[in-house]
Structure 1
Amino acid sequence: MGLCASSEKNNTPDTQTSSAKASPQQQPQGHSARTTRTSGTVSQQKQKQQQQHAHDVKVNNTNMSMNNAISPTATANTSGSQQINLDSALRDRTTNGQAQPTVSDASSGSNGKELKVLLLGAGESGKSTVLQQLKILHQNGFTDQETKEYTPLIYQNLLEIARNIIQARTRFSVHLEPDCRLTQQDLSKVLSYEMPNNYTDQFPPDIAAVISELWALPSTQRLITGPNASKFYLMDSTPYFMENFTRITSPNYRATQQDILRSRQMTSGIFDTVIDMGSDIKMHIYDVGGQRSERKKWIHCFDNVALVIFCVSLSEYDQALMEDKNQNRFQESLVLFDNIVNSRWFARTSVVLFLNKIDLFAEKLSRVPMQNYFPDYTGGADINKAAKYILWRFVQLNRANLSIYPHVTQATDTSNIKLVFAAIKETILENTLKDSGVLQ
C-alpha cells in the first residue's frame, strides 16, 4: 500500500491544490505469512468485513496536496465508542526519478532473495511494538516462556510510572490533599524501592497500594492532564497500565498480548526480524535503538538498504525527550527524518513513513491545542487536518526527492499493522516483478 510523495516548501497543507492526476492503485484484501496478491480498490464491503486502522493521507506526486475529496477507508478507535475517520490514499506509484525497493537492491541468499529494511525513528516512536506485531503475525506470537519473561518488565513500567509522577509532583510543588491517607514517607518508599531482577511473583502489595492511591488523587490527575503535563516524561502506556493496575498486581498475574505490546523497554543494539514474503523473498527488518546514545550504531546497517521504515509518534507534539527534557520530541523527529531522507546512504532508497499512535493523538488533540506548538497550524481539533499538517512537515524535508509512502498507524493494533504490512509487501512484490521484467 504505497504512495509516492515529493514536496515544495512553499506549499501549505490546507490550501495547495493538485496539479497532477493521481492514479488509484490496487490494495490487497489481506495477507498472511505468504502474501496473496489480490486486485481491487478499498470498498465499503471491505470496511464491513474488517475494521481497519490503515489511515493513509494523500500526497500528490508533483507537489504537496491534501485532497479532501477522498472517501474514508477506515476508522481508529479512541476512548469509548468514539471513532475518527481519516482520508484514504489514492496510490500513485510514480518514482520521482528514484529507484523503488526491489530485490536487486538486496543480497541473494541460498534460498532466494533477501530484502534489507531499516526500522528507524526516535525513541518511543513505536518501532519495537511494530516488530512485536510482526512476531505475532508471522512467528506464531509469544511462547509461554517469553510471556513470563515480560512480567518483570511490566512491573518495572509500573514503578517507572509512579516514580515519574512523584518526581513531577515534587518539581511542580503539587501537595498531597489534606484528607489523603498517603504520606511523604509512602512516596519515598516507592522512589527507593528496588525490585529484584527477573522478579515474577506477585507485585508487592504494599507498593501497589501506594501507587493505586497516588493515581486516584485529583491532584495527580490535574498534573498529568494540565499545562505542566508536557514538561515531564510519562510513558505513553500510562493510562493503559493504570486502567489494568488491579489485574496486573493480582496474584498469579500472566501478561496478555496487549500488555506485552504496551510494555516499554529502551532498545539497545540491533535486532533482525525475518518475514517470509513469498515468491522466494525474505524481508529482513533491522530495529535499532532510537535514543541519541544508540544512533551511532545506525551506520553499521546502512549498506544495501532497499527500504527505510521511519516511525514517528503523532502524539509527541507537546512532549519532551526522555534523554533531554529541553528538547521537543516532534522537533527531534523532524531533524532525524531530515538527516535520513537526505543522506547519501539512501539516495536510491524508498521510505515508508509511519505516523504512529493515532489513538493517543485523537485523544490528545481535543485537550492540547496543536497550534500552541505550531503557530502556522490552523486546523484546530480536526484530526484530518492535524494529521495532514504533520505529514506535510515531514514530506517538505524531502530535498532528495525520494519516494515516500505514508501510513497513519496504531502499532498496538494487530489488525492495523497486518493491513499496513500487506500493503508494503504488495508494493515490494509488484516492484520486484517489474524489476525482473514480468510486469511492465
Structure 2
Amino acid sequence: MGGCLSSAGSGSDEIMEQKKKSQAIDRVLEEDMKRLKKECKILLLGSGESGKSTIVKQMKIIHQNGYSVEELSMYRLTVYKNLLDCAKSLVWAMHQFEIQPSSAKVRDFMDYLLDYNIDPDPNVALELKVGDAITYLWNDPSIPAVLERQNDFFEEAKRITMPDYIPNEADVLRARTKTTGIYETRFTMGQLSIQYVTPTQYLYMYTDFDSMFDVGGQRSERKKWIHCFENVTSIIFCVALSEYDQVLLEESNQNRMMESLVLFDSVVNSRWFMRTSIVLFLNKVDLFRQKLGRSPLNKYFPDYSGGNDVNRAAKYLLWRFNQVNRAHLNLYPHLTQATDTSNIRLVFAAVKETILQNALKDSGIL
C-alpha cells in the first residue's frame, strides 16, 4: 500500500513539473507576442528631392556617432560632381540669358569650367584652378541676375579643391545623389535601434529594434514600393515646401507641390494604411522662407491669401494636405530643415515619442 502511495505521489510531482514547464513556455510565448506587437514598421516616403535621404544621414550623425573619416572620404567624388555640375549649369544659364560677365578673366574661367572633366578616381583632387574659377564666377556682379539662391558649395570652392580635401558632415548633408536601390545603416535612438536600408528605402521601427528604409522618390522607383507596404503602422512623409513654384524632372508641366499632394493622397487613403499614423515633414522651410518674397505662393495656389508670411504659408499648405486625408488618419506635422542637425534632433525627439505611443497603443499596453 505504501508502494502505491509512493507511486501516486511521484506521478503527482511529475504532473506538477510538466505544468510548471507548460506555464513557463506560455510566459515566453506571451512575451514574444508582446514583443511582436510592439514592432512598428515605418515607411519614409515623399517625392523626389524632398529630403528623405538627408533625414537618414541626420539619423546617422545624431544617433550613430556620425561619419568616420573613411565614410566621409567616400563622398568626395559626389561633392566634386555637385560643385562642377552647379558651376556648369550657372555658366550655361548665363549664356542662355545672354548675361555678360564683368571681365575677360571671368569669361576665360567660364570657358575653363565648361571644358573641365572630373577624374573618376576619388583620390584625384580637383585642380586648384577650379576653386579660383568658381570663386571668381561666384563673386561676379552678374551672378545675382542668374542664381536664385546661394549655393553652399560655391562658398567653399577653394576648400573643396585643396589636395587633402575630405568632406565634412555639412558637405555630406548637402551632397545630392539620386536615391535608388537599398542602402543600409544601423543606429540607436534612445531605446530604439534603427536599421536604414535601401533597394526601396523604408524604415522598420521596433520598440527595441529599428530599420529605416528611405524609398526612392523618382516615379520609376515607386513601382518597387509595393512589397514594403504590408503591416505598416507609421509613415514619415517628406514634402519640400520650397518646391511650390517648381516642376517635375520627369514632367515639365507638373507642379512639384501638386505632385506631392497627389502622392500623399494615394498613400494616406490607401487600403494598405488604414491603421497608420502619418508624420508629415514640411521640409526645406529655410528655402521656402527665402522664396516667398520673390515668388508669391498665390501665383501657384490662387486661393491662398496670407501674403509672404512663412507661418501662414506653411499652415495653408498643411491645410491642403489635410484636405486629402479622407481616411482621417492621425497626422503629426513638423516644420523641418533637413540640413540643420539641431532642428532634426529636436524634431526626431518628438517623433520618437509619437511612434512609441502609437506602438504601445497598437500592442494594447496603452
- TM-score bucket of the superposed structures, by smaller chain: 0.7 to 0.9
Matched, 1:278 2:230: no
Q: Residues 179, 421 of structure 1: CA spacing in aligned structure 2 closer, same or farther, 3 A cutoff?
A: closer
Counterpart of 1:384 (choices 305, 311, 326) is 311
Matched, 1:191 2:114: yes
Q: Distance in 2 between matches of 1:206 and 1:397?
A: 52
Show CA shifts across 1:355-378 (max 9, x none): 001111122222322222222111
Code of the aligned partner of 2:85 = E
User: 1:210 corresponds to which residue?
Assistant: 133
Unaligned runs of 5+ in 1: 1-106, 226-235
Counterpart of 2:103 (choices 179, 203, 210) is 179
Matched, 1:256 2:168: yes
Matched, 1:155 2:80: yes
Unaligned runs of 5+ in 2: 1-31, 193-206
Q: Residues 431, 118 of structure 1: CA spacing in aligned structure 2 closer, same or farther, 3 A cutoff?
A: closer
For residues 87-166 of structure 1, the aligned pairs below 5 Å read 113-166=38-91
Which of the pair is proportionally richer in helix?
A: 2
RMSD value, Cα: 2.5
Counterpart of 1:168 (choices 89, 93, 112) is 93
| Identity across the alignment (%) | 52
| Contact kept? 1:269, 1:297, Cα under 8 Å | no
Q: Distance in 2 between matches of 1:286 and 1:205?
A: 38
| Contact kept? 2:128, 2:158, Cα under 8 Å | no
Q: Distance in 1 between matches of 2:323 and 2:356?
A: 28
Deviation, structure 1 residue 324: 3.5
| Structure with greater Cα Rg | 2
Code of the aligned partner of 1:278 = Q
Code of the aligned partner of 2:238 = C
Matched, 1:242 2:154: yes
Q: Distance in 2 between matches of 1:109 and 1:267?
A: 35
| Contact kept? 2:336, 2:343, Cα under 8 Å | yes
Deviation, structure 1 residue 387: 0.7
User: Whose relative contact order is higher, 1 or 2, with alpha carbons under 8 Å and at least 6 apart?
Assistant: 1
Code of the aligned partner of 1:213 = Y
Number of matched residues? 320
Q: Distance in 1 between matches of 2:329 and 2:92?
A: 44
Matched, 1:362 2:275: no
Deviation, structure 1 residue 209: 3.0
Q: Distance in 1 between matches of 2:191 and 2:254?
A: 43
Q: Structure 2 length as normaliser, TM-score?
A: 0.80
User: 1:321 corresponds to which residue?
Assistant: 248
Q: Distance in 2 between matches of 1:364 and 1:350?
A: 31
Q: Residues 111, 248 of structure 1: CA spacing in aligned structure 2 closer, same or farther, 3 A cutoff?
A: farther
Q: Secondary structure at the match of 2:45?
A: strand
Q: Residues 242, 178 of structure 1: CA spacing in aligned structure 2 closer, same or farther, 3 A cutoff?
A: closer
For residues 58-73 of structure 1, the aligned pairs below 5 Å read none
Q: Structure 1 length as normaliser, TM-score?
A: 0.67
Q: Distance in 2 between matches of 1:317 and 1:218?
A: 28
Q: Distance in 1 between matches of 2:101 and 2:359?
A: 64
| Contact kept? 1:115, 1:282, Cα under 8 Å | no
Q: Residues 193, 297 of structure 1: CA spacing in aligned structure 2 closer, same or farther, 3 A cutoff?
A: farther
Show CA shifts across 1:392-433 (max 9, x none): 111111112211111111111112212212112212222333
Q: Secondary structure at the match of 2:312?
A: helix
Deviation, structure 1 residue 190: 2.7
Q: Distance in 1 between matches of 2:156 and 2:75?
A: 16
Counterpart of 1:410 (choices 315, 329, 337) is 337
For residues 259-338 of structure 1, the aligned pairs below 5 Å read 259-276=171-188, 278=191, 280-338=207-265
Code of the aligned partner of 1:202 = A
